[in-house]
Copies of this chain bind each other. A is one copy, B any other.
Amino acid sequence: MKAVIIYSGGMDSTVLLHEYKKEIQLAVSFDYGSKHARKELESARFNCHLLNIKHIVVPLLFMNELFRSSLLQGQGEIPEGSYDTDNMKSTVVPFRNGIMLSIAAGIAESNGLDTLLIANHYGDHAIYPDCSEPFIDGMADAIKAGTYNGVKLISPYCHISKRDIALRGRAMGVDFSHTYSCYKGEEEHCGKCGTCIERKEALAGFDPTSYKV
């Protein structure tokens, strides 16, 4: 397996990066103008350097102009409170995973790599349609049929929870202080937005993160 990973620098994809470090030839991050891009990319660079994995950042700054989401710079406030609430929907960037997977599929085929890795997990399904299993299955079919060498899409955490990913990372010695989650993108995690609440729950008992509250 010669793999390309969609790598944000968040905790889920950082665990995946460590788990498949021997197979990964290239980590691809995307800068689509999110409020937390700078902090996430800082973590992404740290972990790729640590594991000696080639890392590139693909600029998609047109998304800020053409897409609607409170996650993007200049487009409204990030809501606070749990992921269960309807207002977290405002942070969805429409079809983001489809866009990232498609570009990574083209990069994989251009460079003779045969596998794509993505770290979507079970807990993502409810709020993000582009993390659901039918989405992943459709993309896997399209990418296999749409490339000469039949690039394979693998989503190893599709059926486990964020807590399970955190436990897996801890067992592998992942340093979670070098991962970033907060949608507000400030130096310190806010501790109140949906992703911060999720992060706290997932890392409970071994959380090295400094939260504002």
Which residues of A are interface residues toward B (Cβ below 8 A)? 56, 58-59, 62-63, 66-69, 89, 92-99, 101-103, 105-111, 129-130, 132, 134-135, 137-148
Contact = CB atoms under 8 A, between A and B. Distances in A.
Contacts of A107: 66-67, 94
Contact of A110 (B66, B89, B103, B143): B66
A36 to B, nearest CB: 19
Contact of A67 (B93, B106, B135, B141): B106
Contact of A56 (B56, B66, B102, B145): B66
A146 B106 contact: no
Q: How many copies does the complex hold?
A: 2
A101 to B, nearest CB: 8
Contacts of A132: 145-146
Given A106-B93, A107-B66, A138-B138, A98 B58 contact: no
